[in-house]
Amino acid sequence: MTWTISPQRVFSASPVVPVMVINDLDDAIPMGQALLDGGISVFEVTLRTECALDAIRILADTFPQAIVGAGTVLNTAQYDAAVTAGAQFIISPGFSITLLKYAQQKEVALIPGVATPSEMMTALEFGYTHLKFFPAEANGGAKALAAMSAPLPQVTICPTGGISVHNLEQYINLPTVATVGGSWMLPKSALDNKDWVAVAQLSKEACILVAELKK
């Protein structure tokens, strides 16, 4: 599979991948700027809101220095819609065989979601080595991920779901973990108050913490 931007680049470009749920389109640019100001340059905009595709389009046009992707992609129609909007990578919470086969032939990388060793093996069978472990905490957390991925060292993982500053250390130094996804740098209180300074500060702290944990 040859993709315009590889999953390796997506995973290595930013210490953390923010899970962005954008309800107000006017928030897209200031949210993106705050994340960039804090050192985060990979954006996962989830397709959970009516304005998500428009937000992807705006972020991709406004911030060419960022890698803008779409999350919560469930099928091939959503894959195409996200790519048309400007998404440079696609993340799914799980996968279907149809979606795996479809993305194999496309230019925009799919990062499938997995929760079990069997799902990791299936993804590998189709050539997908960079995966999202989701929902991480609900599936047993870092201890479970370590056990699942131990016999599958060829996978590279971005765990997402329930990760915060309180448990980040458990994940970040696992051999198969390259980056983590989360929304703790985008707390509801800051978004409701449009406190982009707080978002930038939390993003900066997240990047510093990851750097320190990896030493």
Active site residues: 44, 132
Spatial contact of 205 and 41, defined as CB atoms under 8 Å apart: no
* CB-based contacts of 84, cutoff 8 Å, min separation 6: none
**What is the 3-state secondary structure of 156-206?**
EEEEECCCCCCCHHHHHCCCCECCEEECCCCCHHHHHCCCHHHHHHHHHHH
For residue 209, what are the CA distances in angstroms to 55, 152, 165? 28, 27, 8
Separation of CA 204 from chain center = 17
User: Which string of DSSP letters, residue by residue, matches 39-53?
Assistant: T--EEEEETTSTTHH
Amino acid at 204: K
- Sign of the Cα torsion 190, 187, 22, 32 reads positive
